[in-house]
Structure 1
Amino acid sequence: MNWSDFGERNKRLNPLWTLGAGMNLGELQPYKEMIALSVLLQVYYLELESNEQRAREDIVELAWSSLERFNITKLGTAESVERLVDGLLWSGSGGDFEAYYYDDLSRQMAVQKYKYFTVDEDATRTSWEESGRTVYRLSEYAMELIFMSHEIIEEFQISIKLLEIQMHIKHGRVTRAMQDVGELISRVRKMTQQQQEYRNALRRNPKHMFSEYGVLRHRRLEEIHLQFDEERRHFDNIHRSLARLANDEKDVIDFNELRQLAERVELSRRVHDELAEVVLSIFEAETNLRLNFPELFWGAGGFNFRTHIWEEWVKSEGLPDADSLELLIGGLFTPGQDFIYPLAWAWEEQEAGFLPEDVLDEPDEGGEEESSAYTPKSIPWPQVSELWLPVFKGLAEIGSFTFAAEAFTEEEQRKWSGTPDAVDLWAQFFHTEITVQAQDADSQGGAADECQKLIQQLLAANPVLEVLRGKVLRTTIQGSHRSSVTWPGLEMSPYTITIIER
């Protein structure tokens, strides 16, 4: 193993390893590294734009904007956010951050000192005259973190990269500017290759214009033109910065490096022009296809499996697994019908209207089969009257009765569950107001309905209920705040029967 550069690697990674270390941010603790990096990035972009809103108060606002972006604003407090910002500006002792590293030359452990922020002298001088605020900028170590994070981004915005190059040239960092120009050229060439692939695909099949990539590209067409205009301005600023650097720093800058940088910048301009040419040629091709060959985009009406499923989906994108193929085409060969309940099941759910009350003896063999006598299904009035007797006794005593669990014993609840006819009468009482007949039913030719028949049987067997004669009864259901009555084998609404005074 080559240990010659281990110390430099160690020093490069120490600021990353200790980012957010030693902070106690409460509920924000699991996200401290993420928030700290986002703050550094926001300050970095402000520097690129020469925006001097980089005082401590401004950095606190940037931290809050990060929390809002990450949807964790509710986890932060003013104290925790300010503690985070202070932990980036200064170490716990108020000075530089410290970390150990291995010194390759002395072959001993050494202490590395660094900061994430330093005072921007030029901006602070102006700021102190106006508002008395200290303006900060990223240190070289923090800038290194930003550049390290760029290396894992495949598609970095070209305009931001141009701002970086301009920033490096402005501060005389020729070597760094040279590296960034080379990286920018490679990325622009990659974008040019992608645009050329789309142009070739468009020539083979105009329908690619309506593919996902084509639709997204059309939406960004205006942004592409604005980006080209912005790049022209950046290149002009870069050339002016190079000229100023050659004049003002001629005693410091190596003119050979400066000449190479100028050549690379000019090469980058030509590469950008090639990208613009490809984009405009695609736009011209799309316009020509739409204007002169509209029939290419006329689709056949309707929907068919071969075109829309097999050719445009399966052949181009494939299937997630082999079982998906059987699921896809199975319906074409073995279509399944919706399940329909057999008619016999429906009849089984119905009750016969007439049941034989007496079991007749089977006829003798060889004899004629006698017809069975059927009578309408009757209600077991003795059992029903026994269950309803406590209800009417409650009416006679206090004027109302509510069907609830506490109104019956466990034995009575069991009988209610096993006697559906008694339960059904609650619904009949609920439909209308019922007046208890003033005379016996026999004198009126019989009860008009089952409710009246139940009342007359109860009055005839219990003289204490005579006080109900002539009374008007109304049945209601308690409001939604009361739950339904649920017993084993029975679930019913909490009915209440009441005497109405006229």
Structure 2
Amino acid sequence: MTIEKGFFNRMKKLQPIRMLGTGMDLGNLNEYAYEICFLLIQNIFHRELRENHNRTRNDMVFITEKILRDMDLEGSREIVDRIVDGTLWYRDPNRQEAFSTGVFDESTNRKVDYTFRYLKVDREHSHWEQGGSTVYMLTEESQEMIFITREILEEFGFDLEQFYTLQLIKTGNFSKAQNSIDHLVARVRVLINREKEYRRDIIRDPQNIFFDRSIRGKRTEDEIKEQFNEEQQVFQSMLSWKNRFDTLPDDKKREAEVMFENLERARSLHDSLAKHVMENLALELEIRVKYPETFWNISSYSFKKDIWQNHIVKNGLNSIDDLEKVVSPLFSPETDFVYPLEWAWAEQMVRTRRRERQPSDPQIEEGWKFRETDWDLLVELYEEVFSSLIDTGKFSIQQLNAKNGEEKEKWLRQRENIDIFMMFVISEVVLDLEYVGEDERLKLFKVLCEKNPIFRALQGKRILTEIEDTDEGFNWNELYISPYRIYIKE
């Protein structure tokens, strides 16, 4: 039996399903890893459809904890973190790598590397420049997993999905029609994001106009306009049934109203997609006509010619150690840091950074030890912060501007004093006296409650952050911080 054409593409669709939940050491929960990861992805999918932006890593932790409760399973915070990180990234979460596997390609008769992710960054809603956390969304591979159990397969296309929805509306099957509309919304969102990425790509390098034909293929502008018009007519046909269900019972009528509201949202998104496509076509035409030189200009800069031959070979080096500095970045397994540090904080797990090493440690010279955090000083400083949360429900970093010189010196005595406030800024947290992990904010909360039981009133409170609408900020000579305010969300 020969291997039929398309085998490689079919296997690529199966690999994300096969690898979901694998490679995690969840102890007694290993047999449930697949179901838990799928439910996590499904929850993020529904939040994305409903335009709910609570799709950060911390949100995934809360979702996973609820999934375990709903399944009557028990798992520690460490297990929950493994589930979330194992869905976001492959192997070591610190490297944040895509999932990778070998897939047999019938055209070359050998296995080729195939990489994918279940979740990717939602750039539109990750407000990094404002100190916001990274928001995630489903990749196309994950969406295919959601769609794979449906009667209409993904590969049948958007137009058939529309007609399928129309038939469900005609027969009054509103629950299935609602699910189908959700899939229409998801597909349109994928296409909109693809157009946005394509626009960024051709602005950065116009040659992508020729190289990336996966966006619209070789269809002409008139063909694309005709397709959008046909799809819009199908939306009109579906919405025309709205007034035909006035005689339904109240419960069915309300179900139909909700469905048609979502259908109107799908049509609006479809209009937005058409706008993005036509704008990109206009941009392509403008680049072709006004800037044709961008297609043949290529970089003539190379390491071999410009750095090695013209500089190192010609002028030499001051020291042999300089050679290592030049060459080592080319072969380093670690990627150079790109984003500002405060953006990267949102991607990191909070870990206790300092511990006192035992004097017997042979790797440490005698008399050397790591500096310990002064928790007494932290408690003294943060009594004011948590008291303000009890009294007013909020605390602004600008309140520290009124401090005198001695109080300023205390706040600047160790970096943890400000770091912990920035941890509140970077990600939300629920205050919990029963927490046994390594989040220093919750450790501080427990120590505060031990010293003064009045702070127990904050148990279970959710702490979020926002930027105040003011030009004033926290500005000491040593550092500057935007006017953040932490507050309790009931």
Rg larger for: 1
TM-score range, shorter chain: 0.3 to 0.5
Using the size of structure 2 for normalisation, the TM-score is 0.40
Using the size of structure 1 for normalisation, the TM-score is 0.39
